[in-house]
Amino acid sequence: MEYQHLRPTELAFLTHLSNAEGKVLMRFTIINLVMEGVLEGKVKHTENGTVTKLSKGEQFDSFTPRAYEKIFLSYFKDDQEDIYTIKTLLQKVKEDISPKDFLNKYIKQEPSIQKYLGKGFLNQLSSTVKLSLEGKKMVSNLLAYLKERNNTYKYTMSESRKLAVLQEMESLALLLPSFDQEILPQFKLLIKSKIQTDGDEKIDDFENYFDEAPLFLGSLQLIYKIGGIDESGDTDSQDDGGEGA
């Protein structure tokens, strides 16, 4: 599959050109870093209960980060581990770079996705983004895969089988049409499986992480309309930078 080398953040942008928001893509980025073992969650006991704090994961040193991922990883120096929760890390990043700049200066300029974006004059403007012919083909194939996985999840009766579908997809499950409505509880379990914990303590931070659910909602038809491909195969976007924070 030609999209396997792309990160979920990049695929979320390419499939939602007209409504991509920087703050949502920031959350996608952290999820992927946790799922890939670059960062890991560790339960810490505080006066107010337990909280999950992030630290370097097993893949931290071997992982080759994109420019926008380096922003997050730069806070994890040898003398700065176990300082940030998900929320405080997001807050820290937003202090240094706005969600709008994260989208326009990093995601839209990410080298790995440039061949999927059109090269027309208007495409050089930050307010307008279009897919190239190769981009249309890739997004179409990705949406077909998401359709199949979404249907498999929805019509599988066994809860263990449902979780197996998400384990196979990992952070790509965020792109499923029914993610917010049906898949979110299972995905929380998948995230928690990546956390080091003693016993069955409540992990408050990873629960609260999803308080602001991704805004990419709707039916598969809506995904086609807002995801850069309409029924004619044309793409267009008048995105204003997706500040939304």
Burial of 133 from C-beta contacts in 10 A (0-12 / 13-18 / 19+): exposed
DSSP code at position 117: B
Share the mean pLDDT of the chain. Answer: 78
List, for residues 202-221, the tens digit of each pLDDT value.
Answer: 666 666 666 554 444 433 44
Name 131's bridge partners.
117
- How far lies 34's CA from each of 28, 106, 180, in Å? 10, 20, 19
Q: What is the model's pLDDT at position 239?
A: 39
Q: Could you tell me the two tokens for 102?
A: 């994260």
Mention every residue, 6+ apart, whose C-beta is less than 8 A from residue 56: 38, 39, 40, 76, 81
CA-nearest of 134, 137, 89 to 114 is 134
pLDDT in tens, the chain (245 residues): 778 899 999 998 998 887 788 988 998 898 899 889 999 888 887 777 778 888 899 999 999 999 999 999 999 976 566 678 888 888 899 999 999 999 999 999 999 999 999 875 445 554 567 899 999 999 989 988 988 998 898 888 888 898 899 889 988 888 887 776 677 778 877 888 888 776 666 666 666 666 554 444 433 444 444 444 443 334 443 333 344 33
Number of residues in the chain: 245
Phi first, then psi: what are they for 230, rounded to 5°?
-100, -175
Q: What is the pTM of this model?
A: 0.81
